[in-house]
Structure 1
Amino acid sequence: MTDRRAPRALRPGRGAFASALTLALLLVGPAQADEATGTIDRSSARPANTLQSLAELDGKAPSRRQLNIQHWTTAEGARVLFVEARELPMFDLRVTFAAGSSQDGPVPGLATLTNAMLNEGVAGKDVTAIAQGFEGLGADFGNGSYRDMAVASLRSLSAADKREPALKLFADVVGKPSFPQDALKRIKNQLLAGFEYDKQNPGKLAGQTLFAKLYGSHPYAHPSDGTAQSIPGITQAQLRAFHAKAYAAGNAVIALVGDLSRSDAEAIAAQVSAALPKGPALASPAEPTEPKPGATHIDFPSKQTHLMLAELGITRQDPDWPALSLGNQILGGGAFGTRLMSEVREKRGLTYGVYSTFTPMQVRGPFMINLQTRAELSEGTLQLVRDILADYLKNGPTQLELDDAKRELAGSFPLSNASNASIVGQLGAIGFYNLPLTWLEDFMQQSQALTVEQVKAALNKHLAADKLVIVTAGPSVPQKPLPPPTDTPSEQPLGVPEH
């Protein structure tokens, strides 16, 4: 999970934050994204109406944009990463802070509420005036808070008459928010309404319980949005104190991509950095302790049962990440054609979709398998998923599966730097997780060089079939045996998953 899904009322504006997850989705293996497609069968005949321009690309290695990443540190201690891109007369700015919910301390939701309040008011402007200010300049502001990080982003035209006022407003919003009391009350009410909605969502309840079981007393354990008990008592003074500490320049990474010269980028970074509170980087959370394996059931009236299986995974800097990414892509990281989708949906019709994912974070993030199935088949489906994982760890991927995964990665990888929005998200992650500037190319080269034995060894180093923390949410009903595997399941999966 990346790390938080914002409440509907607090979602960033106009898709500015779609790029926030680009790095996590594309570079864990492109099949991590929900919209990923299966492996292309190039042995089939090409349709007669295929465009010749596309046909000429068949079999060729896809080209990809080479990034010249420049970097420096501002006078206040913010790290800056910059890629010049002159194709369009605009630029993307993304500031990433170690200010996610892992920094909440004893007040769950403090990070989320602080970030949500950034654009609610500055001196002389309320939330409406701020929104109109960005819109009038053709600029787009976005913000979001997750477990590891909080972010603020700006997309603007690069012409000085538009860029300079947009940057001035952005610097005020991020560096000098006023946290108006009326807006604080309104956003608290939105969060509290979201908590009430969550009570009717078995998947949400299962996810919250899973993280609590997986992380115990660790800061990753509590919901990023806080709780119905913690949110009402959060004060303006607490927001200001958290902002002064967590939104400090020394705790920030500034990523810039677009129609800017190096001197332009230096001036922008200096302006943003100077507007932030002064202070050092915050320490990362401590490493979590190994959880106790076991299963927990949440009784919930529903036709389906949510099944979630997890164990601790890796940090973002773990050298096994390329091997685990490809290994997960084969297990359940994509759509059709993965081990889990083939056995659970395609051969038995037990689910609409089943997915697995590693989420590497500042400290060990989760490895998770997630699906929904008919309630009366839930116990058998859970055992089937466990058996598939155990068999995969025991035997590893086949050479054909690995070759297909490599080819899929090679074909999708150019999308990871096809747009300025995707690049700025990657720069932010590279800076935030202190990765090498060559990390994108390194990841690709290391992935393509992997052997079956290396992937199997990495999976078994970090996962064990007997260490799973399992949470299920659904009704307690008599169970039925699973249908046998077949190419034409007698019962088709439900057409629409519950949310």
Structure 2
Amino acid sequence: MSEHKGPRYGLLGLGALGLVVMLGAFIAPQAEAESIAPDSTTLKDTVQALPDNNLQSLKELDGKPPARRTLNIQTWKTAEGAKVMFVEARELPMFNLRLTYAAGSSQDRSTPGIAVLTNAMLNEGVAGKNVGAIAEGFEGLGADFSNGAYRDMAVTSLRSLSAVDKREPALKLFAQVVGKPTFPADSLARIKNQLLAGFEYQKQNPGKLAGNELFKRLYGDHPYAHPSEGTAKSISPISIAQLKAFHAKAYAAGNAVIALVGDLSRSEAEAIAAQVSSALPKGPALPKIEQPVDPKAGETHIEFASKQTHLMLAQLGIERNDPDFVALTLGNSVLGGGGFGSRLMTEVREKRGLTYGVSSGFTPMQVPGPFMITLQTRAELSENTLKLVQDIVRDFLITGPTQKELDDAKRELSGSFPLSTASNADIVGQLGAIGFYDLPLTYLEDFMQQAQNVTVEQVKAAMNKHLSADKMVIVTAGPTVPQKPLPPPTDKPTQQPLGVPEH
């Protein structure tokens, strides 16, 4: 999921999806990491494709291998307790600023949706300026503000020219937006109405219904269980006073990571960090959320009139700092995270024509995030397709990847790795995640070094340690119809996949 900058719609191509899953190993924020999770959308990013800068980066490569970029990460703390991560980059007369707060929906507690609603309201008003004036203020300076809220985190970002006459007013406005939002009543009513309309739309979206049910089954009473945007029942009564109280604790300086990249000296970066930190509410970091409990395996079906059935399989995965993350990244790439050529895509789509696309992925978070497999298939083939997917997972856990499959996954990872630091926006996202998840400053370099040294046996052991084909929580959404046998595997399947998914 990318951050909000305005409405943008599109269908993510399968080739790009494979790249996103691989880049998820090291590109930071949960915005990307949650992209495989069907209910991680917020109010402002319901249906979005890859960020434009990522696609432009791919175009600019023009088939040439991208150069790796070594980052000299500097870090310190502000007087108010905010962690700062800084990389000097003088190539362009610009800088990127990203604040990452432990202010995602896992902090909603008894008020589901308050984290998303608070984040959406930040740039709706400050003293003397409404939402339109704020937008015009940034635009007039050639600056760009964006924000988003997810399960673990909320973010606010600024991109600006580094010249003092542009930088200083942009930072002043940014500090007002993140530190002293006014939460105007008319904006709150409008955004609530948008959310309520979204909830009505979700009733006609079998993928969203299945995703919500999956997280409920997977996480039970845990803070990850509810949809990030809340529900119609929980959103409606949220008051301005509640938003202000949530902002005061969750957007406190001690609960924030300040990431800076660009045309700045260390002293300029220190001054910017101090300015932003002092503008935030005063307060400490919020406590880490509790660990989830392993769910009971089983299948739940949601009846929905459709030609296709959505299939979702999941179990608890790993935390962001799990030592098996590298091996699991490579193993998942072979299983279903690498797009065409992965086991799932080869067996389910290419040999049998059962789906337009199937993917798997770990979403590592503060506490174990989900491992998920998602696909759509013809309703009359859904039961046997589900069994086929389970058999593929079971067989992969028994045999592990071949040496060639692992080598191919390493090569793909190595080729895509430079894209994780291709732009200042990419780097600032990396810094935010490194700071938020308390990863070592050498994390990116360490990750690639470890990836090149991982063996087939280590991948197999890690996948078996964290996954079991018989412990999956399964949710399906579609019609109940008589079932048919699957077509036999072939290099030229007669049953071609439906071109574009219904929902």
- Asked if these proteins are the same fold (TM beyond 0.5), I'd say yes
Aligned counterparts of 2:5 and 2:119: Cα–Cα separation in 1: 11
Look up the match of 1:326: 330
Structure 2 counterpart of 1:466, from 444, 459, 470: 470
Q: Is the 8 A contact 2:146 2:156 kept in 1?
A: yes
1:455 and 2:473 are equivalent in the alignment = no
Aligned counterparts of 1:421 and 1:14: Cα–Cα separation in 2: 19
Aligned counterparts of 1:303 and 1:228: Cα–Cα separation in 2: 28
Q: Secondary structure at the match of 2:233?
A: coil
Structure 2 counterpart of 1:385, from 359, 383, 389: 389
Structure 2 counterpart of 1:170, from 168, 174, 184: 174
The Cα of 1:13 is off from its aligned counterpart by 3.6
1:26 and 2:19 are equivalent in the alignment = no
Q: Secondary structure at the match of 2:294?
A: coil
Structure 1 counterpart of 2:291, from 266, 276, 287: 287
How high is the TM-score relative to the length of structure 2? 0.90
Q: Secondary structure at the match of 2:355?
A: coil
Look up the match of 2:165: 161
Structure 1 counterpart of 2:358, from 354, 358, 377: 354
Aligned counterparts of 1:26 and 1:80: Cα–Cα separation in 2: 24
Aligned counterparts of 2:390 and 2:179: Cα–Cα separation in 1: 48
Q: Is the 8 A contact 2:21 2:337 kept in 1?
A: no
Paired residue total: 467
Q: Is the 8 A contact 1:359 1:367 kept in 2?
A: yes
Runs of 5+ unmatched residues, structure 1 = 37-52
The Cα of 1:54 is off from its aligned counterpart by 8.2
Q: Is the 8 A contact 1:311 1:468 kept in 2?
A: yes
> Aligned letter for 1:430?
I
Distance 1:494 1:164, change over 3 A: same
Deviation per CA, 1:93-115: give whole Å up to 9, x if none.
00000000000010000000000
Q: Is the 8 A contact 2:102 2:152 kept in 1?
A: yes
> Aligned letter for 1:150?
A
Distance 1:138 1:25, change over 3 A: farther
Aligned counterparts of 1:455 and 1:445: Cα–Cα separation in 2: 15
Look up the match of 1:366: 370
Where do 1:70-469 residues align within 5 Å? 70-469=74-473
Q: Is the 8 A contact 1:375 1:475 kept in 2?
A: yes
Q: Is the 8 A contact 1:102 1:147 kept in 2?
A: yes
Q: Secondary structure at the match of 2:373?
A: strand
Q: Secondary structure at the match of 1:496?
A: coil
Q: Is the 8 A contact 2:22 2:337 kept in 1?
A: no
Aligned counterparts of 1:122 and 1:421: Cα–Cα separation in 2: 26
Distance 1:88 1:454, change over 3 A: same
Aligned-residue Cα RMSD (Å) equals: 2.1
Look up the match of 1:12: 5
Q: Secondary structure at the match of 1:360?
A: coil
Deviation per CA, 1:24-77: give whole Å up to 9, x if none.
7614279998999xxxxxxxxxxxxxxxx989x7xxx86401100000000000
> Aligned letter for 2:139?
E
Aligned counterparts of 2:239 and 2:191: Cα–Cα separation in 1: 12
The Cα of 1:180 is off from its aligned counterpart by 0.4
Deviation per CA, 1:261-308: give whole Å up to 9, x if none.
001100000000000000000011100000000000000000000000
Q: Is the 8 A contact 1:13 1:141 kept in 2?
A: no
Look up the match of 2:483: 479
Deviation per CA, 1:424-456: give whole Å up to 9, x if none.
000000000000000000110001100000000
Alignment identity in percent? 75
Aligned counterparts of 2:412 and 2:164: Cα–Cα separation in 1: 42
Q: Is the 8 A contact 1:147 1:224 kept in 2?
A: yes
> Aligned letter for 2:426?
S
The Cα of 1:23 is off from its aligned counterpart by 9.2
Aligned counterparts of 1:70 and 1:277: Cα–Cα separation in 2: 24
> Aligned letter for 1:327?
G
Q: Secondary structure at the match of 2:330?
A: helix
Q: Secondary structure at the match of 2:315?
A: strand
Aligned counterparts of 1:235 and 1:390: Cα–Cα separation in 2: 49
Aligned counterparts of 1:250 and 1:177: Cα–Cα separation in 2: 18
Aligned counterparts of 1:196 and 1:169: Cα–Cα separation in 2: 35
The Cα of 1:128 is off from its aligned counterpart by 0.4
Aligned counterparts of 2:203 and 2:181: Cα–Cα separation in 1: 32
Distance 1:54 1:96, change over 3 A: closer
> Aligned letter for 1:369?
I
How high is the TM-score relative to the length of structure 1? 0.91
The Cα of 1:498 is off from its aligned counterpart by 2.1
Runs of 5+ unmatched residues, structure 2 = 13-18, 37-48, 51-60
Q: Is the 8 A contact 1:352 1:496 kept in 2?
A: yes
> Aligned letter for 1:79?
K
> Aligned letter for 2:401?
P
Distance 1:14 1:424, change over 3 A: farther
Q: Is the 8 A contact 1:23 1:429 kept in 2?
A: no
Distance 1:88 1:368, change over 3 A: same
